[in-house]
Chain A
C-alpha cells in the first residue's frame, strides 16, 4: 500500500490524478480462513483491522452482502462522544473516543475527526441535577465534561431560542472532546488498512446459513458466493442481527427499528458543534460541507425498511424549530432511514454466542457509530483470546437472565423507547 501524504498528493496532482490505486483489494473468497467476520460495516471492518494489527491474525475474510460503506456506517449522523453515566458503558466509550483521537494517524487516512464539542442542553432543575451527576461519572472515568449555565451556553450558541421557548434553556453538559467524523472515510480507512494487512474484503457476498459440525459448532458460512470455512465466525451485522442469528437457531433480545436522519442544503458555518435538545429527542450538527445534519426518535415500530414515515419528519422538524428558529428557512435536502438493532436495555452485546465457534457483536441501538473503533478493538480481542476485553466486559448476552442489565435511560425492556 502506498502511504498517503502531502508528497503522494503532490506527486499525483502533477500527473493529473490518473495513477491513484484502489484503496483496498476486492477479494474473492477462498475455501478456508482462520476467522470470518460477517458484515462490512464500520464495526466489522474495525474488527478485521484490529484482529490483524493487535493480534497478528491476518488470514481473515470480511464478507459483506452489499458494498463497503453501504449500510449503517453510511447512514448515521457521524457523532462521536463518550457521555454516558453507567459503569458498564462509560469506560468503553471513553476508550472509543481515545481511539478516535489517534485514528487518522493509525490508519493513514483522513477521517475528518473534528472535536468541536457535544452539548447536551437541559431545561429544568431536575435535568441539571442529572447532567451534573452524569458529568461527574464521566470525569471519574477519566473523560471530560463541563457543566455550563445559561450564559455559558449563550456564549457558545447565541442563536438558540433563549427568549420565547416553551422549554427555556437552563444550561448544558458539554463534552469538549466530542464532535463528529466523516463516516464514509471511517469505513474506507478501516477497509484500506485491514486489506493492507492481508484481510480479504469480499463484497456482494450474502450469508445464507451457517456450516455446523456434528457437535453443532459453527465451522463456516454458506454464502451466495459459495461455502467458506473458518475456525471462528464473528457477526457484526447490526440492523439484521436477528436474521443472521436465526440461521444459527438463536433468538436475540433485539428488535429492528427504523431511525431517520436529515440533512439540509449547505450553509455557511453556523453551528459550532453538536447540540442536543433536552426537552425532546433531537440533535443537530453541521457537516464540513455545510449541511445541517439532524435527527430525532426512531419511528417506533419494528421495521426492516430503510425508510421511515412522515410523523417523525414532522416531529423532528418541530423540535428543530423549537430549539433553533434560525433554521426555519433552510431547505431540507435529503432524509433517509437506517435499521437499528434496538436491544432490550439500550446497550450493546459483544459476546460468545450460545453456539460454539460463533461470536456476536450486536444491539448498538442508534449509538453504533461513535463506538466503531472500540467495538472493533474489543470484538477482535474476544475473537482472538476468547475472553471479553475489560472495557466491554459488561456487554454480555446473558445479562438479561442474570439481571445485570445496562439500562442508561431506565426505560425497561421497551426497545422503541431506548
Chain B
C-alpha cells in the first residue's frame, strides 16, 4: 500500500505507524465511565471504507487521516489530521 502524504507525496505504508479508526472521539472529562469504555474499547470495525489515523514516523512526522477500503486495501485519500481536527 502507498499512502499519499500531503507533505511527502506517495510513500510506502511501511514508513507509517497505524493507530486505527479515527472515528472515536474522546469524551469530555466529566463524561460517565461507560462513555470512556466505549471510546477505548468498542469499534465499528467496518468492512469497506474507513477513516483511520496513520503517523508518518519515517517521514514528516505528521498525523494523517487516511481514507481506505478494508476489503480491497485501496486508499482513497489522505489529509493532515490537524486539518480535520474536531
Interface residues of A (CB under 8 A from B): 240, 242-243, 246, 251-256, 300-305, 309, 311, 344, 400-401, 413, 415-416
Contact = CB atoms under 8 A, between A and B. Distances in A.
A229 to B, nearest CB: 27
Contact of B41 (A243, A301, A400): A400
Given A301-B68, A400-B41, A416-B20, 4 more contacts: A243-B45, A246-B44, A251-B38, A309-B1
A256 B45 CA distance: 7
A303 B20 contact: no
B interface secondary structure, majority: mixed
A400 B52 contact: no
Given A301-B18, A311-B13, A415-B20, A251 B43 contact: yes
A252 B14 CA distance: 28
B41 A242 contact: no
5 contacts: A254-B45, A255-B45, A304-B71, A309-B13, A344-B41
Nearest to B19: A414
The 9 closest A-B pairs by CB, nearest first: A242-B45, A311-B14, A253-B41, A400-B41, A304-B47, A251-B42, A304-B71, A301-B18, A344-B41
A305 B12 contact: no
A302 B70 contact: yes
B65 interface: no
Interface string B16-41: 00101100000000000110011011
Contact of A253 (B43, B52, B68): B43
A311 B34 CA distance: 38
A247 B37 CA distance: 21
Contacts of B18: 300-301, 416
A302 B73 contact: no
A254 B41 CA distance: 8
Interface of B: 1, 12-14, 18, 20-21, 33-34, 37-38, 40-47, 50, 52, 68, 70-73
B20 A304 contact: no
A311 B58 CA distance: 15
A348 B67 CA distance: 29
Contact of B70 (A254, A303, A344, A416): A303
Contact of A305 (B42, B46, B73): B73
Contacts of A305: 70-73
Contacts of B47: 240, 243, 256, 304
A253 B13 CA distance: 25
A401 B20 CA distance: 21
A242 B13 contact: no
Given A302-B45, A302-B50, A256 B37 contact: no
A252 B1 contact: no
Contacts of B44: 242, 246, 251
